[in-house]
Each structure stands twice: as C-alpha cells, then as structure tokens.
C-alpha cells in the first residue's frame, strides 16, 4: 500500500477515506483510483491562492463541480463566468470549455469533480434486509 492511501479503509463492497488522506499540497486528489470507483470519474482539486487552471473540455464526459471550501470562479467557453462558494454546484456539458480560478489571494480552494456519460441509471435502490419504509 502506498504512503498516500494508508488511511483508505476498504471492506467488502466499500471504501472510506478523508480527502486529506489522498494527498498533500495543491493539485489532484485521485478519489476514483484510491477508493476504487468504477462507474464514474471523480477527483478533487486543491487550488493554491489566486491560481487559475488552464481551459479544457471533453469529448464525451459531462462534469459536475462541487465546491467544498473556498471561492472559485468558473469561466465558460462563451466568456461568461460564475462565482461559487462552499456548497456551490456547476454542471458542464462535455464540449463546453471551462477553466477555474481561486478567488482568494490567501487561502486554498477545494472542489470535487464528478464526470460520467450515458445518463441517469434511475431509481434502483432497494431496502436492506429487515428494513421497512419510514
């Protein structure tokens, strides 16, 4: 087990970790890889103060951005911008160019990106053994 993922707890059918256990300093936190997620892509990004990412887009994958901490501005391909704070959400279509900037000059910003394609699975949840609707 690598030093980075020593604190990932894995059991039969699950994995649990804290974002801080998946890396240190600015950059990517590989949530999908470390927790063994296979149905969709998911990473966290820690942006240093005042840092701006380069622009990117995808061929197929729609993305959902969730701001965990700090404040970011997302610039879209049409030149429009949106500012998001903790709890902020943004959905971006695959071909739409986007870039993200940390709005703080003194604190990191952390956001989680979930990506996937081919749509919603639907309501496939089932009650566990012995559970009843409440």
Residue 45 pLDDT greater than 60, yes or no? yes
CATH number attached to the domain at 26-116: 2.60.120.10
Residue 2 pLDDT greater than 70, yes or no? no
Q: Is 102 helix (H, G, I), strand (E, B) or coil?
A: strand
What does the alpha-carbon distance between residue 45 and residue 94 come to, in Å, rounded to a whole number? 18
Quick: pLDDT tens for 4-27: 446 899 999 999 999 999 999 999
Domain borders along the chain are 26-116
Residue 124 pLDDT greater than 80, yes or no? yes
The alpha carbon of 118 is separated from its chain's Cα centroid by a whole number of angstroms, namely 18
Q: Is 64 helix (H, G, I), strand (E, B) or coil?
A: strand
pTM for the structure as a whole: 0.89
Residue 74 pLDDT greater than 70, yes or no? yes
Residue % of the chain over a pLDDT of 70? 96
Of the candidates 74, 42, 69, the one whose C-alpha atom is nearest the C-alpha of residue 56 is 74
């Amino acid at each position: 087990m690598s030093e980075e993922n020593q604190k990932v707890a894995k059991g039969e059918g699950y994995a649990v970790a804290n974002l801080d256990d998946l890396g240190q300093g600015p950059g990517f936190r590989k949530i999908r890889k470390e927790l063994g997620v296979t149905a969709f892509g998911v990473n966290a990004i820690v942006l240093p103060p005042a840092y701006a990412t380069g622009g990117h887009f995808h061929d197929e994958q729609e993305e959902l951005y969730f701001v965990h901490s700090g404040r970011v501005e997302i610039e879209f391909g049409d030149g429009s911008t949106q500012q998001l704070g903790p709890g902020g959400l943004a959905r971006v279509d695959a071909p739409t160019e986007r870039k993200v900037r940390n709005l703080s000059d003194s604190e990191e910003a952390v956001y989680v990106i979930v990506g996937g394609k081919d749509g919603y699975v639907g309501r496939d949840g089932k009650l566990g053994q012995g559970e009843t609707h409440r």
